[in-house]
Amino acid sequence: MNRNYLMFDIRRTLRNRRVMIFAILMPLVLFAIFGLTIPKDAAAGGISAIAYVMVSMAMFGSMSAAMSSGGVIAAERDGGWNRTLRLTPLKPQAYVINKVILSLLVAVPPLIVVFLFGMTVGHVHLSASQWITVALVSWLGALPFAAIGLVIGYVAKPDSMQPITGLATMLIAAFGGLWLPVDQMPSVMKHIAQLTPAYWTGLTSRSALTAGGVDTQALLVVLGWTVVLGFIALRRYRADTARA
């Protein structure tokens, strides 16, 4: 990690607010449509339906923010910036670690905003420890998507970057059950959902709200996804920066 470089990236991210605003607004709108219309006493799997939707939408927001953050890499590669960096003493792995940290940072605002919205407008009542647990677990759930963002950043061209990220975000969210609960889908959809990392991150986060506590099995699957995707990102990155 290079702190100087991280601060540079954070300043740039704060200047280009569009991505962040989209990542916050999108889940808020979906929350309003799918969450606020639910009867107050509706519940599923031991948690209130509105809390269920809130967590799913927060996950969706942090996931799309984390994924699009990696897209900066595509633009930087295209502009030859990675060549410039290779001609400085910056260690290549420091660059990747910086980008992962950046992805995790941009995943925070959507989580906070959606949770605050759920707390105030949605009247979701959780204990302080539940709020903290669900926030931390949801934040951890952004990790595999940060890795996906890196992979896309190393594979895509800058102009195909946004559509690819957008489509991937939609597909993963829809098929992973972040928009509509998997339990309400046909069973074949449930099997498909289990093939996406979003299903497991959603399961992990929602489990924080149940009496049983965090579903460690689902959490392990999330970490497994992170390891696999992180490995792919690392390979792409090595191929891209192979030095003579």
Partner 1 sequence: MTTTTAVSLVGVTKKYGAVQAVAGVDLSIRVGEVVALLGPNGAGKSTTIEMLLGLVRPDQGSVQVYGGTPSEAIANGQIGVMLQSGGIIEDAKVGELLNLVAGLHTKPMPVQEALDRAGIADLYDRKMKGLSGGQKQRVRFAMAIIPQPELIVLDEPTTGMDVESRRDFWASMHAETARGRTVLFATHYLEEADAYADRVVLMRNGKIVADGTAAQIKASVSGRTIRATIPGADLTALAALPGVRNVETRGDVVLLQCADSDDTLRYLLGNTTAHDIEVTSADLEDAVLAISDGSAYQGKESVA
- Kindly state the tokens that stand for 185: 């889908």
3-state secondary structure (DSSP) of residue 44: strand
Q: Rounded to the nearest whole angstrom, what is the least distance from the CB of residue 241 to partner 1 in the complex? A: 10
Residue selected from 128, 188, 239, 244 as contacting partner 1 according to rule CB under 8 A:
244
CB of 239 to partner 1, least distance (A): 14
Q: Per CB under 8 A, does 239 bind partner 1?
A: no
The stretch near partner 1 (CB under 8 A) out of 11-19, 111-119, 195-203, 205-213 is 11-19
Residue (80 or 186) nearer to partner 1, CB? 80
Give yes or no for residue 87 binding partner 1 (CB under 8 A): yes
Q: Is 11 in the site for partner 1 (CB under 8 A)?
A: yes
**Which span sits near partner 1 by CB under 8 A: 57-65, 81-89, 120-128, 165-173?**
81-89
Helix ranges (DSSP H) in the chain: 3-15, 17-30, 49-69, 71-78, 81-86, 92-106, 108-120, 128-140, 143-155, 158-175, 187-193, 197-207, 216-241
10, 38, 43, 90: residue in contact with partner 1 (rule CB under 8 A): 90
Q: Per-residue x/- marks for partner 1, 215-234, CB under 8 A? A: --------------------
Cβ-based neighbours of 138, under 8 Å, separated by 6 or more = 55, 58, 59, 62, 111, 201, 205
Quick one: which segment of 5-13, 19-27, 166-174, 213-221 binds partner 1 (CB under 8 A)? 5-13
Check: CB of residue 179 under 8 Å from CB of residue 60: yes
Contact residue for partner 1 among 5, 164, 232, 238 (CB under 8 A)? 5
Name residues whose C-beta falls within 8 Å of residue 243's C-beta, 6 or more positions apart in sequence.
86
- Are 214 and 203 spatial neighbours (Cβ–Cβ below 8 Å)? no
Beta-carbon count within 10 A of 218 CB: 20
What's at 84, amino acid-wise?
A: T
Please, what is the minimum distance in Å from the beta carbon of residue 42 to partner 1? 45
**Interface positions with partner 1 (CB under 8 A):** 2, 4-5, 8, 11-12, 15-16, 76, 79-81, 83-90, 243-244
